[in-house]
Amino acid sequence: MVSPDPDPTERFTGRSSDYKMHRPRYPDALFQYLLDNSIIWKGCSVADVGSGTGIFARGLLDRGILVYAVEPNREMRECADDALGSMTGFHSVVGRSETTTLGTASVDAVTAAQAFHWFETVPTRIEFARILRPGGQVCIVYNERDVCNPFSREYERLVGVYTEPDKEKRERSRDPRAFFDGRCKEASFPNQQELDREGLLGRALSNSHMPKKGEEGYEEIARRISETFDRHQQNGRVIMRYNTLVYHGTLD
pLDDT tens-place values along the chain, 252 residues long? 333 445 667 778 778 888 999 999 999 999 999 999 999 999 999 999 999 999 999 999 999 999 999 999 999 999 999 999 999 999 999 999 999 999 999 999 999 999 999 999 999 999 999 999 999 999 999 999 999 999 999 999 998 887 765 555 555 457 999 999 989 999 999 999 999 999 999 999 998 888 888 888 899 999 999 999 999 999 999 999 999 999 999 998
For every residue of 179-225, DSSP letters joined together read HTTT--EEEEEEEEEEE-HHHHHHHHHTSTTSPPTTSTTHHHHHHHH
- The answer to whether 43 and 105 have CB atoms below 8 angstroms apart is no
- The answer to whether 115 and 55 have CB atoms below 8 angstroms apart is no
SS (H, E, C) 125-150: HHHHHHHEEEEEEEEEEEEEECCCCH
Pairing of strands 238-249, 185-195: antiparallel
Residue (of 112, 141, 129, 143) closest to 181 by Cα position: 129
- Alpha carbon distance 18, 174 (integer Å): 26
- Alpha carbon distance 118, 166 (integer Å): 12
At residue 47, the pLDDT reads 98
- Alpha carbon distance 235, 121 (integer Å): 44
- Domains along the chain with CATH numbers: 8-249 (3.40.50.150)
At residue 198, the pLDDT reads 96
CA angle 9, 113, 43 (to 5 degrees): 115
Q: What is the pLDDT of residues 47-62, one digit of tens each?
A: 999 999 999 999 999 9
At residue 5, the pLDDT reads 45
- Alpha carbon distance 123, 194 (integer Å): 38
- Alpha carbon distance 230, 36 (integer Å): 42
Phi, psi of 114 (to 5 degrees): 65, 30
Instruction: State in Å, rounded, how far the first CA of the chain is from the last one.
Output: 42
pTM above 0.85, yes or no: yes
**Alpha helices by DSSP H, 99-196:** 121-131, 150-160, 167-172, 176-179
